[in-house]
Structure 1
Amino acid sequence: MRALLVVNPAATTTSARTRDVLIHALASDLKLDVATTEYRGHARDLARQAAESGTYELVVALGGDGTVNEVVNGLLHDGPAPDALPRLAVVPGGSTNVFARALGLPNDVVEATGALLDALRDGSERTVGLGLAGGTPGTRDEAVPARWFTFCAGFGFDAGVVGRVEQHRERGKRSTHALYVRQVVRQYLSEPHRRNGVITLNRPGEDPVEELVLSIVCNTSPYTYLGNRPLYASPEASFDTALDVLGLTKLSTSAVARYGTQLVTSTPERGPRGKHVVSGHDLTDFTLQSQVPLPFQMDGDHLGLRTSVTFTGVRRALRVIV
């Protein structure tokens, strides 16, 4: 089997020596070509070239969730075609690795490589659904190109936290879970809309849900991790269904304490709940609109400010080795 390994040399939890060992291990079972990313978006470009060349059966992403997101967008540049596109494999090298862990892969790079080789020998794979998000026609964001995401997107508060973390990383700080927690607190203290939400959820055939303060869109569950603790914002979300959405209509101090505790103690059967919680399951098409520009993120990548985002849940979009 011919495969392309896309390596992010800046991956948080891998060293040059570790990468060399992993490349040697993969090359023992695959006809392996290796490409190292050199700029933001390079993994997307490499994966697109691999898909268009027709010479690769497999593309392996070695890096964090951002690298995986770029590879997925490269593979799906011309749309989903599971039987025609190369399969995707992931070796986690980031700080959180939500997509890989949601697939049931080990979070350790060496163990994950061993599991990948075992899966290839056994022919073990699954076809997963993905989310697609883009600008909404008739709004200031209509020219924003559609982009795929693998596990979650956030519009508003959640994305503001991601943006703060990225700013600290650009200044040289490590992406740690303690850093995320600090930025959650700071985002809350500076959030101007925490008592009067400005987000509206629009679903075909249903009344709009207005005044949301927070909105998280999930393609799988858990939607992220706090250290080794999984957080289940939408426990029913799955790679086998369309998208789930969680919204909150209030972020007072008491509401934050209540729903924050529910999120930290959430389980695969029980997530945040209460009179200020809005949720939707297995949604194929919906839109989140805001009265003012708000931060937007996908798969932990801050994408700037938007006033409107249209979401599409696409079942059976891509084959993945597991």
Structure 2
Amino acid sequence: MGTLLRMRALLVVNPAATTTSARTRDVLTHALASEMKLEAITTEYRGHARDLARRAAERRDVELVVALGGDGTVNEVVNGLLRHGPDPDRLPRLAVVPGGSTNVFARALGLPNDAVEATGALLDALRRGSERTVGLGLAAGTPGTADEAAPSRWFTFCAGLGFDAGVVGRVEQQRERGKRSTHALYIRQLLRHFVEDPNRRHGTITLRRPDAEPVRDLVLSIVCNTAPWTYLGNRPVYASPRASFDTGLDVLGLSRLTPAAVTRYGTQLLTSSPERGPHGKHAVSLHDLTDFTLHSKAPLPLQMDGDHLGLRTSVTFTGVRRALRVIV
């Protein structure tokens, strides 16, 4: 207990976290502050969590950064902590209190999805000194292409180029108009994107990796750093069941999205398990990749950890196996 009370920590609070109230966030903050030297800061703009975490990492006197929010908040904090890349001798330390609508990263680590229960589990883990080193994905513009100048960005659980990223973009537009982030919203936007997406009929994506034949004509490419890929309520959904924080990156690619294919692969996703994900003639599954590039003949939407990042034609991915220490 004495060691814990001396720990200096930064709590980054997203006031727009969808599943916590202001009162709940205040109670959680006080619970954490009672057991460590805690500085709590509420984010005020997009990218603020990244800036706060970067400054904490550069100060080097902060031993722990706690993210209270959803996957977007966690992603920003991670990108701030790793602004200058992971120092193998002093990996940054992160804790997560889930406050979003899905909380994939926290749940994939085995944390409770309830913010109050997760705070209790976090404090117990800190008292025990329990932590886990995890790998992350890093995406950057490909040298020699129009996207060369695109900034590098870390992701914790998934990225996507193509159809799924287009759905994420549509959902973000609806949320900006005041719609709540719900599974029904995602399904409606998926159906609309299926009808309107001009690129789903003819795959434009090629996956290239060292010492292997390229995989061509993909319509959809999902990059997974862990499993599950997402959750529908309490149901885990596995795009790449073998993906793990302890290995490189996995990729699920689909080369056809006809109505029949969508029905087939959609059903496979809904019934997926840790043993079996989407499979079939038009599905490609690759496991434990360290370096690869996704290149598209036409600009396609890109998403990372559920955040739409605009259109890209070429993205280079790297799986970094030891990037972060997480309290679990």
CA distance in 2, matches of 1:110, 1:250: 43
CA distance in 1, matches of 2:89, 2:113: 28
Residue from 69, 72, 77 that aligns with 1:71:
77
Residue from 194, 199, 203 that aligns with 2:200:
194
- How many residues are aligned here? 322
AA at the equivalent of 2:318: T
AA at the equivalent of 2:30: H
Q: How do 1:270-309 and structure 2 match up within 5 A? A: 270-309=276-315
Verify the 8 A CA contact 2:206 2:214 in the aligned structure 1.
yes
Pair 234,109 (structure 1): closer, same or farther in 2 beyond 3 Å: same
CA distance in 2, matches of 1:129, 1:85: 11
Q: Structure 1 residue 85: deviation in Å?
A: 4.1
Verify the 8 A CA contact 2:207 2:292 in the aligned structure 1.
yes
Q: Structure 1 residue 83: deviation in Å?
A: 4.1
Residue from 115, 122, 125 that aligns with 1:116:
122
Residue from 255, 263, 269 that aligns with 2:269:
263
1:230 is matched with 236
Q: How do 1:146-157 and structure 2 match up within 5 A? A: 146-157=152-163
Q: Structure 1 residue 81: deviation in Å?
A: 1.9
Unmatched tracts of structure 2, length 5 or more:
1-6
2:90 is matched with 84
Q: How do 1:91-130 and structure 2 match up within 5 A? A: 91-130=97-136
CA RMSD of aligned residues (A): 0.8
Verify the 8 A CA contact 2:86 2:92 in the aligned structure 1.
no
Unmatched tracts of structure 1, length 5 or more:
none
Q: Structure 1 residue 163: deviation in Å?
A: 0.2
AA at the equivalent of 2:294: L
What SS is found at the alignment partner of 1:178? helix
What SS is found at the alignment partner of 2:85? coil
Verify the 8 A CA contact 2:14 2:68 in the aligned structure 1.
yes
2:215 is matched with 209
Extract structure 1 runs of 4+ deviating beyond 6 A.
Answer: none
Verify the 8 A CA contact 2:91 2:323 in the aligned structure 1.
no
What SS is found at the alignment partner of 1:275? coil
AA at the equivalent of 2:236: P
Verify the 8 A CA contact 1:57 1:85 in the aligned structure 2.
no
AA at the equivalent of 1:315: R
Verify the 8 A CA contact 1:62 1:93 in the aligned structure 2.
yes
1:254 is matched with 260
Verify the 8 A CA contact 1:159 1:296 in the aligned structure 2.
yes
2:140 is the alignment partner of 1:134: yes
Identity fraction in percent: 81
CA distance in 2, matches of 1:71, 1:85: 14
